[in-house]
């Protein structure tokens, strides 16, 4: 894409009321736009990053047998009353609205109730199990504090998967498979080494759940890491002796870190299938409640975490797998038509080679191009200048570590 | 995909309270699930169709220079007060909700206000124009009647594009380009010959807007068609003599039809740029309000229209471009392991060839497979039975017209 085509501009300053590093940088770079506290729009470059993250997640969910659906935002109070979660005292972050004809509706803050009710029409027998259903759908949460940029928002896309198993044993088998898929996702988006499966508090059916926590100075959580076992304990269960008794973790070796939750997996058991009547007939014809789990990842939260964790004083640093483009091609042409022609031809050849490239063809100073390029954080900066025409060399700079190499045209086209 | 993998089942009966043909068939076939009146979830097959339609639209929007963004559902009342559309008297289909900390929010029923306010940060000079911004985003509309299945819902995905031009002349040029793109979209999804650009009432800036209306017995609109000019007039402006004076349409030749609106394009002029202060400096440095247009298509409404218009007494009939799969492979195996093996191998080879195929590998009667296949509406039914093993012939049936051909294995793999 030519940069002149892009309607977004970079900005020197973030909005004065924006406190978080991720939102400041993403707004300045033109990736997102702040509508209100905790409510952000995604602009073209930001949507590309978000969609890249979504595609990585989708692929892994399909690999573990997930089937994609799209549930609704508007929620029928009746199903939430059955599970005892309609009252604002039970869920304190509800957004609710009213039908014109009368009657309240909820805006989905999660989708256990809706998917469980839906599955009562699809699951009748043990032959219909297991099932793994997922979606990418907006969640709405009436947060009283929304100061962490796109890490904690009032409206955000979440990937939520729900598993439906015949019993705890087959549930546990899938739970571990989902956990491995999550680890693969975090590795692919570039936070694998900084992310730990973390024991956290559970619910009515399992004493513990698991979070995936990424070490991050600005994270809202505190975790305690066992480096050898590559596992962590969330502060909320750190003082529970059972954690250590059941897992063999040695409390003494743990080191404390600030972290951000980038995913969670949860054994729901029959909490929702009991409430909403999701039962199946086993081989003897006996009615058994379906054993459920839920598995969440917020692509926007991952995007924010990447900015918090990887950016430097000059701007954003995207891992290649999620970057809006792989290459940022800068023509330092000035009034030199030959340089412009060379860069334009290189741009066209990159596209032919299938290289995702943003081409800064704008008529602005070199310094401005460099500063914008640092801010945007595209992994490889390819610079065509005077030297290119005389020596044939093209400068290639890595955004992550700043290393610079002279490459030939053929080498650049093999990036 | 193997049909045994699919969690959805076909149903003999639609919900008793469902009146529309599109929802009845789509629910029976397992494409959608009704949550409440006017609120539907998309199940795996339905989501595939919806996404195919979305991709066709996206490609055409990119071709005419559109840049994709993702705006928000939660709406700041302040911007709607500026345009005078916050009050329920001005927009009577608002869903509104409340922030925990106090203050009302709206759920986006359209996005003119939000995109106009956003663009005040991006457009400053004539050099920044024109811009064409689009999104696929949910709209929420508090409809008092919601009886048309997925044709008129309280929550639905819409593609809305907004154009920002320097003046009426350049706006008009893009408006015609967008109109042609819409015609291409309707042709690709399979309703081109039944769809007419239709003159309809306008707003404060243009006396008329244009709708795209598809002839449909169950449509909510009445249009009057000029067959020679391939243009129509909506009932709402049918008695306005200016329509005929300005367009040269002869009222006498028009024929009346019932139709459904599948898209609309609208000249907004400076209605929103005036209200929200979206101005640019022209070449002389003078402040000029940006000239806007809006362009909407509902992918779900198109999906519903296809079912209303193309289905027959046996079920749905999808055009190939939007079908969830191109081929429905039926193994009529019974207890015959050889037939099953043959079908399985053919399925694998189809996938290698890149043919999108749903393989009915289920252990059910042939009659049930045929009935389900008719209901699902996949364009090509490929039947492997006893005859296949003896003669080498494979029966291929067109869902659209029922024609049956015997084909060789190689011919089937070239479908």
pLDDT tens profile A162-213: 999 999 999 999 999 999 999 999 999 999 999 999 999 997 778 899 999 9
Q: Does A5 touch chain B (CB under 8 A)?
A: yes
Q: How far apart are CA B112 and CA A411, in angstroms?
A: 46
Q: How far apart are CA A40 and CA A27, in angstroms?
A: 10
| Res B159: pLDDT | 98
Q: CB burial class (10 A; 0-12, 13-18, 19+) of residue A401?
A: exposed
- Chain B, residues 134-193, CB within 8 A of chain A, namely 138, 140, 142-144, 154-155
**Residues 6 or more apart in contact with residue A211 via CB below 8 angstroms:** A197, A198, A200, A221, A234, A261, A263, A264
Chain A residue numbers with beta carbons less than 8 Å from the beta carbon of B65 are 5
Distance from CA of B45 to the nearest CA of A (A): 9
| Res A133: pLDDT | 98
Helix (H) or strand (E) holding A281: strand A279-281
Tell me if A144 and B101 make a contact (CB, 8 A cut-off). yes
**CB-CB: which of A71, A76, A155 is closest to B74?**
A155
Q: Does A51 touch chain B (CB under 8 A)?
A: no
| Res B336: pLDDT | 86
Tell me if B122 and A36 make a contact (CB, 8 A cut-off). no
| Res A334: pLDDT | 77
pLDDT in tens, chain B (415 residues): 999 999 999 999 988 889 999 999 999 999 999 999 999 999 999 999 999 999 999 999 999 999 999 999 999 999 999 999 999 999 999 999 999 988 999 999 999 999 999 999 999 999 999 999 999 999 999 998 888 999 999 999 999 999 999 999 999 999 999 999 999 999 999 999 999 999 999 977 788 999 999 999 999 999 999 999 999 999 999 999 999 999 999 999 999 999 999 999 999 999 999 999 999 999 999 999 999 999 999 999 999 999 999 999 999 999 999 999 999 999 997 778 999 999 999 999 999 999 999 999 999 999 999 999 999 999 999 999 999 999 999 999 999 999 999 999 999 999 9
CA atoms within 13 A on the CB side of A44: 21
| Res B204: pLDDT | 75
CA nearest A65 in B: which residue? Answer: B5
What number of C-beta contacts closer than 8 Å exist between A and B?
A: 135
Distances (CA, A) of B92 to B87, B89, B373: 8, 6, 42
Tell me if A67 and B7 make a contact (CB, 8 A cut-off). yes
DSSP string, B345-413: HHHHHHHHTT--EEEE--SS-HHHHHHHHHHHT-SEEEEE-HHHHHH--EEEEETTT--EEEE-HHHHT
**pLDDT over 90 percentage in chain A:** 94
CB–CB of A384/A343 below 8 Å? yes
**pLDDT over 70 percentage in chain A:** 100
- Chain A, residues 86-115, CB within 8 A of chain B, namely 92-93, 95-101, 105, 107, 114
Tell me if A100 and B67 make a contact (CB, 8 A cut-off). no
CB–CB of B110/B271 below 8 Å? no
Q: Pick the closest to residue A219 from A298, A155, A148, A157 (CA basis).
A: A148
For residue B2, count other CB atoms closer than 10 A to its CB: 14
Chain A residue numbers with beta carbons less than 8 Å from the beta carbon of B140 are 73-74
**CB-CB: which of A39, A70, A92 is closest to B47?**
A70
Tell me if B96 and A99 make a contact (CB, 8 A cut-off). no
Q: Which of B99, B112, B125, B144 to mutate to test the interface with A (most CBs of A within 10 A)?
A: B99
ipTM associated with this complex: 0.96
Q: How far apart are CA A401 and CA B69, in angstroms?
A: 30
| Res B17: pLDDT | 87
Q: Does A76 touch chain B (CB under 8 A)?
A: yes
| Res B237: pLDDT | 96
| Res B15: pLDDT | 86
Q: How far apart are CA B177 and CA B181, in angstroms?
A: 6
Q: Tell me: the pLDDT tens digits for A135-158? A: 999 999 999 888 899 999 999 999
**Two structure tokens written together for B330:** 């039926």
Structural domains of chain B in order of their starting residue, each with its CATH number: 21-310 (3.30.930.10), 327-412 (3.40.50.800)
Q: Does A41 touch chain B (CB under 8 A)?
A: yes
Chain A residue numbers with beta carbons less than 8 Å from the beta carbon of B105 are 36, 95
| Res A15: pLDDT | 86
CA nearest B46 in A: which residue? Answer: A69
| Res B344: pLDDT | 96
Q: Does A74 touch chain B (CB under 8 A)?
A: yes
Distance from CA of B154 to the nearest CA of A (A): 8
Long-range contacts, stretch B360-367, CB < 8 angstroms, 24+ apart: B360/B3, B360/B328, B360/B329, B360/B330, B360/B331, B361/B2, B361/B3, B361/B4, B361/B331, B362/B3, B362/B4, B366/B330, B366/B332
User: Which DSSP symbol is given to A290?
Assistant: P
Q: Tell me: the pLDDT tens digits for A292-317? A: 999 999 999 999 999 999 999 999 99
Q: What's the rounded mean pLDDT across residues A72-97?
A: 97
CA atoms within 13 A on the CB side of A37: 14
The mean of the pLDDT values for chain A is: 96
Angle between helices B299-310 and B44-63 (to 10 degrees): 120
Tell me if B114 and A144 make a contact (CB, 8 A cut-off). no
Q: What's the rounded mean pLDDT across residues A131-135?
A: 98
């Amino acid at each position: 894409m030519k940069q002149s085509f892009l309607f977004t501009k970079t900005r020197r300053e973030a909005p004065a009321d924006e406190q978080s590093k991720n939102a400041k940088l993403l707004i300045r770079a033109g990736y997102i736009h702040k509508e209100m506290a905790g409510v952000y729009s995604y602009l073209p470059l930001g949507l590309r990053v978000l969609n890249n993250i979504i595609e990585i997640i989708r692929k892994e969910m399909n690999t573990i047998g997930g089937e994609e659906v799209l549930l609704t935002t508007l929620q029928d109070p009746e199903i939430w009353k059955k599970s005892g979660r309609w009252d604002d005292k039970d869920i304190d972050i509800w957004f609710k609205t009213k039908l014109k004809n009368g009657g309240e509706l909820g805006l989905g803050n999660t989708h256990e109730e809706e998917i469980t009710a839906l599955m009562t029409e699809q699951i009748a027998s043990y032959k219909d199990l297991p099932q793994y259903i997922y979606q990418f759908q907006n969640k709405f949460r009436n947060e009283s504090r929304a100061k962490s940029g796109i890490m904690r928002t009032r409206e955000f896309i979440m990937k939520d998967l729900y598993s439906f198993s015949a019993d705890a044993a087959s549930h546990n088998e899938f739970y571990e498979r989902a956990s491995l898929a999550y680890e693969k996702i975090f590795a692919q988006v570039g936070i694998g080494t900084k992310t730990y499966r973390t024991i956290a508090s559970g619910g009515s059916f399992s004493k513990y759940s698991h979070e995936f926590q990424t070490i991050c100075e600005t994270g809202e959580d505190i975790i305690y890491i066992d480096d050898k076992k590559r596992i962590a304990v969330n502060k909320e269960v750190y003082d529970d002796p059972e954690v250590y008794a059941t897992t063999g973790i040695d409390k003494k070796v743990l080191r404390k870190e600030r972290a951000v939750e980038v995913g969670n997996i949860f054994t729901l058991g029959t909490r929702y299938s009991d409430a909403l009547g999701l039962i199946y007939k086993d081989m003897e014809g006996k009615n058994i409640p379906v054993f459920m789990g839920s598995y969440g990842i917020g692509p926007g939260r991952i995007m924010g975490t990447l900015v918090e964790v990887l950016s430097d004083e000059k701007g954003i640093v995207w891992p290649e797998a999620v970057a809006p483009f792989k290459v940022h091609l800068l023509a330092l042409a000035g009034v030199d038509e030959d340089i412009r022609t060379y860069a334009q031809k290189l741009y066209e050849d990159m596209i032919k080679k299938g290289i995702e490239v943003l081409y800064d063809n704008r008529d602005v100073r070199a310094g401005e191009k460099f500063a914008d390029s640092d801010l945007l954080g595209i992994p490889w900066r390819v610079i065509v200048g005077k030297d290119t025409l005389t020596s044939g060399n093209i400068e290639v700079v890595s955004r992550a570590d700043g290393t610079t190499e002279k490459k030939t045209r053929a080498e650049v086209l093999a990036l």
